[in-house]
Amino acid sequence: MDGYSSTRRDNSSRDNQRVSRAAQNTPTSMTEGKMLSIIIVTWNCQEEVMGCLKSLAELTESPLDIETLVVDNDSQDGTKEFLEASSPHFSGIGLQVMYNSKNLGLSNATQQAYQKAHGSWILLCNPDISFDSNFGQLVAYGYTHPNEIVVAEMINNDGTPQKVIHRKFPTITRIFFDFTLVGTYLDEKFMNHLVRKDYCYQNERLPPVAAIEQPGASFLLFNRIVIEKLGFIFDPSFPVWWNDVDLAMRAEEAGIRRILLSDVKVKHGLGGSGSRTMPSKTKRHVFCSSMILYARRWKMRPRLLQLLFCVDAILSVPLSTIIQRRTYGFFRALRRSIPHAAAQMSGVLGA
């Protein structure tokens, strides 16, 4: 998007100075009468949400009043029991927990929490996030830019960056080379991850305050003003995946900037938020189905995507078998490949 390049150049210097000053403290006049509602959706992630809530409770200084709204989507791993037993110990962060009798999906659970939220600011937070002092920097910048969506740079526990969270808007080329087995194989073996690097800003040195196209929603801050312009946070048509991409596209249409504070680092478990316990074929089906729905909504040639992913599903069986045969043996690798391909094909054709 050429407009974003010019926006970064025009606003980078001014915004960099603002985030530097704002990171030092948040003026009292800004926080009086303000509340931040932190929304966390859990599903089978006891260890992760335990660490997340403890890190939040251990912050010695908070830039504003906080309430923490956790929605548990019928966890079966002890998450529910942990939350029930621990809730009294987290009164300092205003913990409130809602328990669902079935998994409603990330999008519906997020809306469920939002309807209970009192804060004028909303922070979407994955349960595998670790809070530290950088949290205050994110909030401080947000308070001076209430009409923007603000995210931080996600990092692993060892401090290395997670260069797959924030992306450019998807195209047919980017989707094929990043989300199909054949495409990713070609991108890795013959193009040195050329498409992936472009898609995920890996070839760009972003300034401390950077306008980006599609921020991940692992740790995303916005004001109610922004949500009102968007109409809602996540569309429940996208239960788990592609909901953040749809959110970014709606923000683009509404003229709402998405800002990455690249110098503000937040530790993120990357996949430790519950979806790892979902069977791989279920994940593939839901992912592909949501992708086609997204393509239809935003006129991204869904029939071409369906064709590409069906062809990829067919070709992925022998290719995946060849790749995995040294690890699992030929017949076991073949048995592993077929269900994944079938889930992909049913996802794209059944959407």
Residue 283 lies in a domain: yes
Total tally of structural domains belonging to the chain: 2
Identify whether residues 156 and 286 lie together within a single domain: no
pLDDT for residue 273: 59
Residue listed under structure tokens 């809730």: 87
Q: What's at 295, amino acid-wise?
A: A
Identify whether residues 291 and 308 lie together within a single domain: yes
| Cα atoms in the 13 Å half-sphere on the side-chain side of 321 | 14
Residue 187 lies in a domain: no
Task: Give the other-Cβ count within 10 Å of 85's Cβ.
Answer: 10
Identify whether residues 265 and 283 lie together within a single domain: no
Q: Is 86 exposed, middle or buried (0-12, 13-18, 19+ CB in 10 A)?
A: middle
| pTM given for the model | 0.88
Residue 173 lies in a domain: no
Identify whether residues 34 and 101 lie together within a single domain: yes
CA separation for the pair 14, 19 (Å, rounded): 9
Identify whether residues 207 and 339 lie together within a single domain: no
Residue 185 lies in a domain: no
Task: Give the C-alpha distances (Å, rounded to integers) separating 34 from 19, 56, 68, 269, 290.
Answer: 20, 18, 14, 29, 36
Identify whether residues 284 and 337 lie together within a single domain: yes
Identify whether residues 151 and 294 lie together within a single domain: no
Identify whether residues 28 and 11 lie together within a single domain: yes
Residue 178 lies in a domain: no
Residue 177 lies in a domain: no
Asked if 266 contacts 153 with a C-beta cutoff of 8 angstroms, the reply is yes
Identify whether residues 239 and 308 lie together within a single domain: no
Residue 40 lies in a domain: yes
User: Which CATH number belongs to the domain containing residue 269 in this structure?
Assistant: 3.90.550.10
The last residue of one of the domains, among 219, 248, 276, is 276
Residue listed under structure tokens 């997020």: 110
Nearest Cα to Cα of residue 166 among 121, 219, 129: 219
Identify whether residues 232 and 337 lie together within a single domain: no
Identify whether residues 113 and 61 lie together within a single domain: yes
Identify whether residues 147 and 266 lie together within a single domain: yes
Nearest Cα to Cα of residue 165 among 120, 129, 113: 129
The last residue of one of the domains, among 246, 276, 306, is 276
Q: What is the full per-residue pLDDT of the chain (351 aa) written as tens digits? A: 444 344 444 444 444 444 444 444 443 334 444 789 999 999 999 999 999 999 999 986 666 789 999 999 999 999 999 999 988 889 889 999 999 999 999 999 999 999 999 999 999 999 999 999 899 999 999 999 999 999 999 999 899 999 899 999 999 999 999 999 999 999 999 999 999 999 999 999 999 999 999 999 999 999 999 999 999 999 999 999 999 999 999 999 999 999 999 999 999 987 655 677 788 899 999 999 999 999 999 999 999 999 999 999 999 999 888 888 878 888 888 888 999 999 999 999 997
- What separation, in Å, do the N-terminal and C-terminal C-alpha atoms of the chain show? 28
pLDDT for residue 341: 95
| Cα atoms in the 13 Å half-sphere on the side-chain side of 198 | 14
Residue 291 lies in a domain: yes
Tokens of 226: 């922004």
The last residue of one of the domains, among 260, 276, 292, is 276
DSSP lists the bridge partners of residue 266 as 154
CA separation for the pair 72, 83 (Å, rounded): 9
Domain assignment of residue 71, given as a range: 2-166+201-276
pLDDT for residue 324: 83
